[in-house]
Chain A
Amino acid sequence: GQNIDQPTEMTATEGAIVQINCTYQTSGFNGLFWYQQHAGEAPTFLSYNVLDGLEEKGRFSSFLSRSKGYSYLLLKELQMKDSASYLCAVMDSNYQLIWGAGTKLIIKP
């Protein structure tokens, strides 16, 4: 079967760095996405990785290792507004997105 695993909840301090991990097992791979979803709102696109390595975009970076079925989202200089759920999703061989359950990130002052 297809499976995406990510921690249910994480807590971090304002100004710090946090890494949210995602492991996956899917039928085929056409890229891995990270989305941010604030409570009561729809998800917004953060990043896309299809090749191994680190993609940096401002305070957010995303890493992929296809051989390990592993990705992480790195958030630096955390701000209170970063409190949200972070969704990992993998596009399988049929170009369908397989979603993780999301990681709720709580930022404390």
Chain B
Amino acid sequence: GAVVSQHPSWVICKSGTSVKIECRSLDFQATTMFWYRQFPKQSLMLMATSNEGSKATYEQGVEKDKFLINHASLTLSTLTVTSAHPEDSSFYICSARVSGWRETQYFGPGTRLLVL
């Protein structure tokens, strides 16, 4: 299947700092990427849909000024958590959709964020 990478895999930061997470599709071009958040023992929660060259579409309840998404190229999307607080500590996972008849989403390995 298609390969999606995410960097970094772990982040520990102080409250009030900003953290950038990168998501790359390694062997295909992804016009659409997705950002999810998952709290322990809970299901995936879609945060936003990112389309290359246009503004991201945020899900209800997700602050677009706090979670900045940039999809600068067909292989890279970034999520920046601005002024992170302890409640932002979570597992952040990106996925990239392979266009075609299956429209399958492939997930990156995820980024664990711990805000102290």
Contacts and interface: CB of A to CB of B under 8 A. Distances in A.
Given A43-B44, A87-B44, A95 B107 contact: no
A43 B107 contact: yes
Interface residues of B, number: 18
A41 B109 contact: yes
B50 to A, nearest CB: 13
Contact of B110 (A30, A42, A48): A42
A45 B43 contact: no
A66 B24 CA distance: 34
Contacts of A91: 103
A31 interface: yes
Query: DSSP class of A's interface residues: helix, strand, loop or mixed?
Result: loop
B58 to A, nearest CB: 13
B18 interface: no
Contacts of A96: 49
5 contacts: A35-B107, A41-B109, A50-B102, A96-B49, A101-B43
Given A41-B109, A99-B46, 18 more contacts: A30-B103, A33-B105, A42-B107, A42-B109, A42-B110, A43-B93, A44-B107, A45-B1, A45-B104, A45-B106, A48-B102, A48-B104, A50-B102, A87-B43, A95-B103, A97-B34, A97-B46, A102-B43
